[in-house]
Each structure stands twice: as structure tokens, then as C-alpha cells.
Amino acid sequence: MRLLTGATTWTLHALGEIGLRSITMSDGPIGVRGVDEDATPSAQLPAPSATAATWDRDLLGRLGTVMAGEARRKGVDVILAPVVNLQRSPVGGRHFECLSEDPLLTAGLAVPFIAAMQREGIGACVKHFVGNETETDRTEYHSVIDERTLREVYLAPFESVIRETGAWSIMAAYNEIEVLGEDSPATAHRTLLTDLLKREWDYDGVVVSDWLATKSAVEPALAGLDLVMPGPGGPWDDDLLAAVERGDVPESVIDEKVERILLLAERVGALGTPFEVREGDGARVRERDAGIPEPDSAAVRDLLREAAARSTVVLRNEGLLPLDPSTVGSIALIGANAVKPFVQGGGSAHVDAPLLSDPLEALAAAFPRAVVTRHRGGSTSSGAPEVEDAALIAPDSGCGILAEVLDARGAVLETRVLASAQGSVWLTGLPATAASVRLTTAIALTAQGEHLVEIAPVGAHDIMVDGERVSHSDHVVGAEVVLDSSYANPEAVTLRVQGGEDAAARLRIELQVVDARAFGRFARAHLRHLAPEAGADAEIAEAVAAAAAADVAVVIVGTNPETESEGWDRPTLDLPGRQNELVRRVAEANPHTVVVVNAGAPVLLPWLDEVASVLWWWLPGQEAGTSLADVLTGTTEPSGRLPWTLPAHTADVPVPDGIPVDGRIVYAEGVDVGHRGWDRLGRTPAREFGFGLGYASWAYEAVSAASAADGSLEVDVTVTNTSERQGREVVQLYLEPVEADAARPLRWLAGFATLDVAPGAQGTARITVPLRSFQTWDTEAHAWATPHGTYLVHAGRSSRDLRVSATVTAPQVGDGPTP
């Protein structure tokens, strides 16, 4: 029984007498953070929505290998990644963490990523099973999905990765699911976990709960959940043994769960190797492997640089790009995201990178003859930035924050001096008798004018500023805040104070100690400070003047940490701040303007067809600057294609939000998810699914198709590179029934491949269209069926740029699952 609940937040129990060491898990998929105590940097990949834009299976496999190396380097056995939920709505908070709005593209890229990790002995934990596409009320809502939509759309990526990689673990989601005649939490949904996953798909891996998602003992145990995380504690630690002893849960059910965990241990090398029993629980921390490339090594940096550059999508290019470094004498680099690029979204995917390649430095290196200047052009944040370390003044100890840990009577148990408030003031490892933490510091306000100070406490608190109480709350919070946006983005107390040469805001903040159960005990607050600024009007005017004087203006616009994060959904698709005004004014001042969009999820670009060049740069990870320089110079072709649809207007979006109504989210659009919905409704996006210009130009010459014995279709597409440069094309296949069927999408993605072709040369992509692409789910027979009929196989550059077609008939191999 002990093996079925975590030993800690990230580790499983060891059992020394059988040679079972502890298994360690870690968050992904942007990198491998390691356990909470691990402060070593991690390679920071581009966000998954970026890597998906490459449409490149080989590249995803190489990134999976890097992830496995990072796991071994940090002593991790299982990475909680990838996310194969779909981007159902563009406002979803974890949109950047998902791969695509399309089930086939999602599966096609997740499979090589997982396979590469597991070849290296590192387990994948595929998440979040299933119908978990919204952050609002994510631990409470019911996903209501009809059987056919569930099978053809939302289960499809999970089925592919299970059947093709045998993913070693899978994560049951927070939400409840009303499907297949059962309305249960994802951690206790017997129809999904046992009947479908374990029996129909013959899955032999471990089903683990999302952290704190399991609420009871008996129902999840009988439904097919295998492992409750985190630990210690929780419903199985407390009640499962008693349930077995009462006869509510058969002992054979426990045996089967243990077998799965031991199989996982065997797969990751945690079972059967003799080791010395450590004093205490007999666990052994996995040894860090020597010889693994560091996250700032040339090999890792080169791959991440390539991935970020390849993922970049050319949305518009009126002959400006690529730039010739020998002819550019000056560049005005403009935008808040040029000053501080947004390289990763918020939440559990966060990793601390070993470096951040700065765009200014990278452009200066790539354009050695150019003078490169940088201008913010106004803030995009609604709140203040984090307090700079140098502005913090601790009493009697110079810079920093004095932290006193107090018991329930107010006696000081221990003191610490914190050097920084970056990220947040976060105290962990507190004594069991700790009841509160008192923070004492001052924020230097040396600049003349009005300063903005924000103090955002988590839970019950008492805040004094300059001896005056400005906020008090007796509302004690617990583990629920870890799952809520208030944990990472708590409500702030806002103060406006006058500054001067010797001015300072003296703070005394008393915070409750949050008992977050298996997440530990901690106290947390955010401190932010904004010194007087010139103001947006002045900053925009300065940026416009700089653009007018430069040979080229590069404007980086985008989202920020207030916008894209786990824990909340976005309220709008608009760019924050006055970025649209900035773009238009800069482009008017300099026709040689490149706009770079730094965002993981769709935003509205009302000026898209008014400027010379527009690049979608995503959340690029640690190699932000180097990748952008490679794209601007053409050193690496930006061969990205949109893995989702870019709207022109909010009103056109088929699923504008995922907000629960009366606690339910009804997937009313059925199988018409993403680009299929745009086609069904006849709406025109700003740029369609699969769009991307690249720098080469292409002619599609021919397409031919032949049936294979297993019911699949082998399609050859011949293209010619009509440009004078080496190019990479992403060839896309779409199926369309000749006789329209209202119950099916108008057309759907059926296959894809990347193809590198020399200037003026031809290349042929061979793409396999699986039998499943022709099939539908028969809700009466509860089985896959192959509707007979004639189809057009379209080959093209996007879902709406279809260049050549062939006519085929449906495979005649009988109904049933794909062989």
C-alpha cells in the first residue's frame, strides 16, 4: 500500500529489501526542473506550441533526447510531459503548453518526443487525461463530450502515443468528465481508466493522479488509478488500507497497481540494482549521470537555437527579409519584449535557464557593421515589475529582507536574510511549529516623483508601511492555493508614494504559514516596485524617432507573464498596452519595419497586412536572441507553420472561451475543433492553420496515391524549390469527402512531412495516411467504421492553400481498429 502514494512531492517510496530505489518525477515540458530543492539550471526549450510549429518529427525526437539527458543530469526518472490536450480555444491559459489544435498533428509530434525520451530510459507521463482544455475552475468543472467527439478528437492523441510508444505513465486530470454514460472525476472514471485505457488499449503503464486531484480512497482505486501524488498523506495514505480490510477494495486490485509501479521502476532502472540502505527510509537518491551535456553547452545551445529559429513563422514578407548584414548600418530594436523577452509561460512548466540570449547582443553580433539601439516604447504590464535586489534594504544587514519565522505565540524560531524578491519572497523548509513569517525591509525610492509599490501576500497577513497598517486579513488558506491562480498571482495592495534622494518605503509584513499538505509548508509574498517613468507617450515618441533614423526597425511585441500562464485563462486576445499603436507609428516612420510577435498563443494583429514583414517568434526559450538573429539574417530559414488558427477578429473564433456554465463545459462544436470549425462556419482568419511563408518559394508539381495492404494510403507529393536559396517545405495532406457529410468535417489533416530541397531542384515527400484518417466512430456499434466512398487527397502549404489533388476510394479492409 505504501508504494501507491508519493513519499514526497516528487518522489515515490523505496523498498530496500527488493532493491527498489525511489523514483523521482519532475515537471516538464519546457525543461526538466527537478525537485524543489534542486536549484541547478535547466535547459529551457521553446514552448511546445513553438516546437509544434516546426511540424518536424526528427526535431521533436532530438528535443526528446535532450530532455532525457537533462533528466539524467538532474537525477529524474519520469518527466511530466508532453501535454497532448488540444488547443480548443485560443484563450486557454495553458495554450502555449499544448502542441496544436489538431489531433493528428499533436499525436504526430508527441510520438517521436516520447519515444526518444524512453529510448534513453526516461519515462514520459502524458497529460492530462482527458477533456482538460480550460484553466477556469479547472479542479471543479465537468467536461461534457459526446462519444464520437471524444473518440475522434480528444482521445485520439492519447491513443496514438499509447499504441505507438507504450508511454510509461499517464496523468489523470483535475476535472470531472461526463462521457460514455459516466460522470466522474478523471481520477475515478472507471470507463475511461479501466475499460478503455487498460483493457481496450491494453495499457500496461502507471496511471498517476494530477497533484492533489484525488479526493477519495475507494472510487479511484476501483476505477483504475494506480498512484496518488503528491505524498505523504492524501486519501490513500489515510484510508486505502482500511478499505481493503473492510472488503471495499479487493486485494487483487492493489496487487495490479503494485505490478505496474514495479514495471515502471524496472523500465527506468530503479529496480533490481543492489544498493546500500540509507539510514531512515532506505531510499537512495538517483545518482546524477556524469558526462551529460550541460544546458549551456554548445551542443544543447545549438539545438535549442535551431528549434527556436525553425519554429518561427513568416506571416508576411514583402521582400524585406532576410536582411543582408553587409548592407545594414543601423537597427532600431523596439518594444517592451525587446527589453525583456517573454521566453516561457507561467506555471508548473517553468524552469530556471542557465542563460538568456539577449536580442540586443545577438543582433549586434549578427550585424557587425550596424549600430543597434534599443527603445522600450512603453510598458505593456498592468502592474509594477519585481523589486530590484539593489533597492531592498534590510535592517542592520545592508541589502535584502530580514525574515523571522514565528510560532503561534509570536516567538522567533529562526531568522534568515533574503537577498532577493525576484520571482517572489518564498520561504520553505519551515519548522513544524512555525505559524507565521515576519518580513522587514525597505524599498529605496531615490528617484524624484511618484513611485508605485505593490505588496501581494498569499493568505492571512498583516502589512505595515511606514508604521501604518495598509492591509489585514484573517483568511487562512491551505493547499487549494497551489492549484489556484492566486498562488502565483495573488491580489496586490497598491501604494503610490513620493520619492526623493533619501526616500524609502519601510515594510513590515507578517504572513501566515501555508500548510499545503504534501506540497509542504511555506510563506509567500510578491514585492513589486515601479519608479517614475517618462510615460508611454514619451517612450513611443522616442521609439518612433529612433525608427525613422535607422535603416531597419525591428519591433518585438507580445504577451507577458501577466497574460499566459497555468492557473487562469486569458480574458482577451488583444495585445497588452499600446503595442498596436507602437507598431503602426513605427511602420509609418520607417517602411523597413520587421514586427516580431513574442507570444505562445494567438493574439489579434490588426496591422498584419500593413507592415513590410511579420514573424511569429513564439516563446522561444533560452536561445531567444540567437534564434532571432539567425532568422533575420536567413542563417536558418524560419520554416515554421502555424499549428493553430490565427484569428483576425474575436467574434470569428468558433470557441471564444472555455468558461464553465453551471459547472459544465459542453463541447458543442463536436468534431469541428480548430481549423475544422473555421471551415464549417465559413469564416476567414488572419492566417489559417498550417500557414507559413518561409523564405523559399515553391511549386507543387504532382500528387499520387496508392493503397497499402494494411488499409493505409501512401501518398507521394513532388514539389520544386523555385527560389535561389536552399529551402524547407512542410507538405500537408488533407482529406475531403467528394460527397459532403454533415456529420464529418469538411476536410481534415491526414498527414504531413518536412522536405529540404536545393535551389531550383525537385523533391518528393512520401507521406503515409493511416487507415484511421478515413474512419469514424460508430456510436451504435461502439467501434471504428470505414465509410465507403470517394475522397480528394489535397496536398498544399496550409489548410486553405491546397495546390494539387488526387481522387482515392476508401480502404476496403473491413471495419475495426487500425492494425
Query: Which three-class secondary structure state does DSSP give residue 306?
Result: helix
List of residues 6+ apart from 256 with CB closer than 8 A: none
What three-state secondary structure class fits 212? coil
Q: Is 707 in contact with 184 (CB distance < 8 Å)?
A: no
783-785 vs 776-778, strand pairing mode: antiparallel
- From CA 442, how far away is CA 503, in angstroms rounded? 10
- Give Cα separations from 324 to 1, 4, 357, 366, 630 (angstroms): 65, 60, 21, 10, 11
What grid cell was written down for 180? 460514455
Q: Report the alpha-carbon distance of residue 771 to residue 792 in Å, rounded.
A: 15
248 is catalytic: no
CA distances from 464 to 198, 397, 508 (A): 56, 20, 5
In the numeric block, the cell 529562526 is attached to 414
> What are the DSSP calls for 152-180, one per residue?
IIISHHHHHHHHHH--SEEEE-SSEEEET
CA-nearest of 623, 547, 256, 500 to 373 is 547
Q: What angle do CA 792, 797, 799 make, to 5 degrees?
A: 60
Distance CA 572, CA 585 (A): 23
Q: Taken in order 629, 633, 635, 639, is the CA torsion positive or negative?
A: positive
Nearest Cα neighbor of 590 from 559, 613, 618, 560 is 613
At residue 278, φ and ψ (nearest 5 deg) are -85, 145
If one counts every other C-beta atom within 10 angstroms of the C-beta of residue 650, the result is 14
The dihedrals phi and psi of 594, each to the nearest 5 degrees, come to: -105, 125
By CB atoms closer than 10 A (0-12, 13-18, 19+), residue 606 is middle
Give CA–CA dist 147/177, Å, rounded. Answer: 12
Catalytic residue among 38, 56, 210, 484: 210
Alpha-carbon distances of 96 from 91, 172, 488, rounded to whole Å: 10, 20, 17
Picking from 172, 93, 184, 196, the residue whose alpha carbon sits closest to that of residue 142 is 184
Helix (H) or strand (E) holding 795: strand 790-798
* CA–CA distance, 644 with 642 (Å, rounded to integer): 5
| 293 upstream amide cis, omega within 30 of 0 | no
Q: Which helix (H) or strand (E) holds 304?
A: helix 298-311
**Packing angle between helix 536-549 and helix 579-589, nearest 10 degrees?**
30
| HSE-CB for 620 with a 13 A CA cutoff | 41
Sign, CA torsion 496/559/127/130? positive
Q: In terms of Cα–Cα distance, which of 377, 797, 381 is closest to 593? A: 377
* 678 contacts 685 by C-beta, under 8 angstroms: yes
Nearest to 793 by CA among 679, 712, 681: 712
For residue 220, whether the previous peptide bond is cis, meaning omega lies within 30 degrees of 0, is no
Q: What's the CA gap between 405 and 412, in Å, rounded?
A: 6
- Beta pairing, strands 521-530 & 514-515: antiparallel
Catalytic sites, residue numbers: 210
